Structure 1
Amino acid sequence: MKKFFVKGLTLSVLTALSTPLLLGNSQQALWASSLEAATTSPTITTADPAPAKVLDPRASEKNLTSLASFAQADGRFAVILRLRDIPVITFLGSTAELTAFSAGQPLVTTDSAMGRAQAVAKQLEQLAQQPDFDAQAIQVRRGPGKTNYQISYQQQVLVTLDGQTFLPGQTRNLGQNALQMANRLRRLLGDAPPLAQIAPTQPQTLVGQAGSSIRRLKSGVASWYGPGFHGRRTANGERFNQNDLTAAHRSLPFGTRVRVTNLRNGQSVVVRINDRGPFSQGRVIDLSTQAARLIGVHSSGVAPVALDILSQ
């Protein structure tokens, strides 16, 4: 067993596991075939993955989240995110990731299983530290195109359930899997009562966090910035932190909260305006590194987005 500490996350690693964690080689086929029966097909339960062994017995007291990585029976890499020692999300990787990890060179890119797990864990840690955080605002609904499910907090997508990200020990009923994952997050993050059903695909009433109507801005192209500016002063005088959910806009008042939706995949993130830019023609917002990662802009560099003002 190897143990790593990644920015406050306890990471326990088992390089071999005799019992399959997931549904093996049929995982992708199972996901595709069961979408049509997400709310009607009978559930077929599978055993929850073996508990991650944490060397430090105080880990659950020190950290809200922990990550445990495993070798799947089919030769792929998998990472389980646990909240208070309860498995909540499985991130499926590739054989290449497993090979790299076995060689002592783990792949931690934005698209890798470990990179995705770390990003979600960090986001959950940040939410839990907010003084006004309310776990009852965690909701689940069917994603764009009805090919996945999204769990969100105040319209900010936390995790998208698909063939690569799913509930540990999931069943054939994907809707129930998504509902169960959302309810685990609600209970473990704030002891909120469980949801009885999945929310409509689109909110019936669009209202801002302060009760004001949401205002849609002109759509355009989003870009991102980070490493070269990390630690520098932003236009409003604060230090830029590439890991915070912030953004630069040409004219919106500082402190404005904006929901940015990637029109390619439907993923959204809520950012706070604290800087000026971008100044390239055709671009409407410049996201921090972390915000770009959460909605899939980091790897592509730019992406078409829609902007909704939530508060000013």
Structure 2
Amino acid sequence: MVHSIKDLIVALICVAMLNVAAANAQTATAQDLPVTGGKLTSTQTSFQQPGSTSLSVEQSPLKLGSTSTEADQVPAHIQEMPEFKTTVVYLGTLPLLSVSGGESAPLERASIISSKVNQLQWDHTPGSDIRVRFDGKHYAIVAGKDQELLTIDQGVRISTSQALSEKATALQIANRLRRHFGNAPELGDSDQPSSSLAAQPAANFLDALGGTVVHAFQGLASWYGNTFLNRRTSSGAVLRQDSLLAAHRALPFGTLIRVTNLSNGKQVTVKVLDRGPFVSGRVLDLSPRAAQVLGMISAGVARVKVEVLR
């Protein structure tokens, strides 16, 4: 009996030692798995569900071959304006030019111009390399070694009216580009750096020099929710309870517009001081006070006539 108990204890001790040896062997196998360029130094040994291995935005690597540079921040972009039957090319937050024409040509042409302008930044082209060229028939804007950005014709304007000549239009656009890319001196009539031509810095593409444009269009208008009160608009103006202001996608800040609610005939004159609306099918966002005057608070949206007054 004594021998049997001793034999049992010895057997249990042997089994325990064998289990420890097996566990050590398994750990060594897991830790010494061969991998390309060396050995795997650690593995997940817990039987619990492993935590997420996804990286945060800051930790995640860039795509192969990509780098995060200033070139990722493109200066030019486009905005379709169906109410004007045109497409506007923006340089930063300001309009650079507008393109009009047939059904699809304005959008395609504006996209090409925008991509060429962005290429200037990627190539680190200085503003002083941007100039106007005349081939005896048309004016064109070129950069660097005669890289043509666009040719000026009846489809390219800095305003919805065509009061400017092609030469004046070319100089205006070139000088806006020169200011943006390094604040280079402005070009004058002789196509040499000069301060004689005072191009409009705010780029009012609706108005020609020395002229007044009255333009009208229709569409759906909405209004700001009260949650936006006491916040700054894109122009820097604060939206107050009694503010008579509006948001439009492209009209220059400070533009006066008269808005008529077509369902009841009520009118209000407001100033464009914000950007928007960014909902498809809407042409204007109005402050709460302006919406109240127009009688559209309860409806939320209204079909309106917009008259540009300059």
TM over 0.5: no
Task: Determine which structure has greater relative contact order: mean sequence separation of CA pairs < 8 Å that are 6+ residues apart, divided by chain length.
Answer: 1
Q: Which has the larger radius of gyration?
A: 2
User: TM-score normalized by structure 1?
Assistant: 0.31
